[in-house]
Structure 1
């Protein structure tokens, strides 16, 4: 993938490295969630991940002496914390209990189209005709994925719906985060978004305690990994990169995540989506590509 064509300036090596780090770590998260999901409930897994991430982020924030974000940043921080760190993670964890990691990634992969749509509307980044065409193609792909998994019964339908909900929450979280980054650092926005998401997941604390007591060490390590790397590190590198370009263009950088997830899930979990599911996922990504050509 040529990141120089997505809106991150080639000269900004730090932003390019941050975006690349985010893509790889977020791809690995789909696989780790699928693995840990056998031993943790969706809410418990989200809370455990967020608590680990919050501890790491707060420690770094104190070390850097950055303090609280300014008042003007809080609306975006709170909204992204509730939608992206909270709702997105719970919905995705639940969805991945019903569908494989690759299918989940392909469905969530329509997020960049939604980011571009919301960014054009709310952030006045523009709504070119090809954006709308791309959205139609991506939605057609989601329908194909749903058809391909219809034989799985209600659980597959539920999984598809949850992954699409995660995509919407992800897109809304990204768009709400962008204005906050005009007033606060990437570390501040990520740290307090993570804390707000963790606070929203506190009702799952009893379930987390119960699951931790019964889970094998490998599953617990999956939770720790999710908190430290796809959350604490990857969300910070994302915020750093998005503060240097538009929300729509940063969304486009996540094109390769589904392909990486399918490869990782095949190598690590032995999972491979059916051919029709892959075709539907390809349509989802084609819609994203069409939208960004505009």
Structure 2
């Protein structure tokens, strides 16, 4: 690409003046579809595997695949300075996030879980403003208020479903928080190690943290049908290892800001796939609350354009499924 064809974007990154790279768009679409499918598979596996066992199985598979990819690329071990961030993000982002999300999806439908999880970027921005001294713009606070209102609406809409549904909403909120803290902890690690190193050893750290569920995993795999066990393999290979790789490929060819907007499609796809494969559709009030959550995230991301036309200091991380990829993003 010639210098004349390049320009600096509002995210402070270099992009193409002629528009997004076609392969980047294709990679982003693959990522979004795989992340959306994770919510459906998790919900479908709830009858065979406990939250911890499902998380451990998924992480073991993902760790194996990512380790092979790292060896093929000659990545090696990350430097010592990166390990605190890798271990912290691995335990929270890969471990706690997945366990909480799995537990939440045993109590609420996949579409509702996806809508709640998508408040993650606001939580990341709040933590970044506090821990990384990135500030608290007015649009961020406004977006937080809108998303909080949406979460309350979702909770009220499910109150008729009993205590289990409300616990499910709280577990999904805990998953979003664990995801956000993990992303913030990961940011310093990326200054010392490659995205592939951080992701691979983060997945390994999460798997180690979930080892207490090993006995449960072995017991439940022995009783579950082969199709249910294959779902664990699917979660580890596709929404985790492959989706993180395609997301990194997409971001490397364009900007995080542009690709981050594609993840807004995840809850929409989850609601559609949940209806198609599981026969589940969130109620109208729940959908309205979920849309408020997404609207709050959109408002919070307006700050770069609203406050100043100058480029931002750096890209803002995104949060599906949950765990976010080598480049700032959110995996499921």
TM-score by length of 1: 0.91
Q: CA offsets, 1:241-267, max 9 Å, x none? A: 678999888765532211111111111
* Aligned residue number for residue 229 of structure 1: 238
Q: Does 2:99 correspond to 1:96?
A: no
CA drift of 1:219 comes to: 1.1
Structure 2: unaligned runs, 5 residues or longer: 1-8, 304-332
Larger radius of gyration: 2
* Aligned residue number for residue 173 of structure 2: 164
- Separation in 2, partners of 1:86, 1:262: 25
The correspondence of residues 1-294 of structure 1 with structure 2, limited to 5 A, is 10-11=15-16, 13=21, 18-238=27-247, 253-294=262-303
The answer to which of 121-130 and 87-96 deviates more is 121-130
- Separation in 2, partners of 1:17, 1:126: 34
* Alpha-carbon contact 2:116-2:293 (below 8 Å) kept: yes
C-alpha distance 59-93 of structure 1, shift in aligned 2 (>3 A): same
- Separation in 2, partners of 1:288, 1:219: 34
The 3-state SS of whatever aligns with 2:76 is: coil
The answer to which of 62-71 and 38-47 deviates more is 62-71
- Separation in 1, partners of 2:128, 2:36: 23
C-alpha distance 115-244 of structure 1, shift in aligned 2 (>3 A): farther
For the aligned residue pairs, the C-alpha RMSD in angstroms reads 2.5
C-alpha distance 23-5 of structure 1, shift in aligned 2 (>3 A): farther
CA drift of 1:24 comes to: 2.2
- Separation in 1, partners of 2:141, 2:254: 21
The answer to which of 7-16 and 157-166 deviates more is 7-16
- Separation in 2, partners of 1:183, 1:243: 18
* Alpha-carbon contact 2:14-2:255 (below 8 Å) kept: no
* Structure 1 or 2: more helix by fraction: 1
The 3-state SS of whatever aligns with 1:39 is: coil
- Separation in 2, partners of 1:94, 1:228: 21
CA drift of 1:114 comes to: 1.0
TM-score by length of 2: 0.81
CA drift of 1:127 comes to: 2.4
Q: CA offsets, 1:132-158, max 9 Å, x none? A: 110011011010000000011110111
CA drift of 1:39 comes to: 0.6
The 3-state SS of whatever aligns with 2:301 is: helix
Q: CA offsets, 1:35-76, max 9 Å, x none? A: 111110000000000000011111111222211011121121
- Separation in 1, partners of 2:168, 2:34: 22
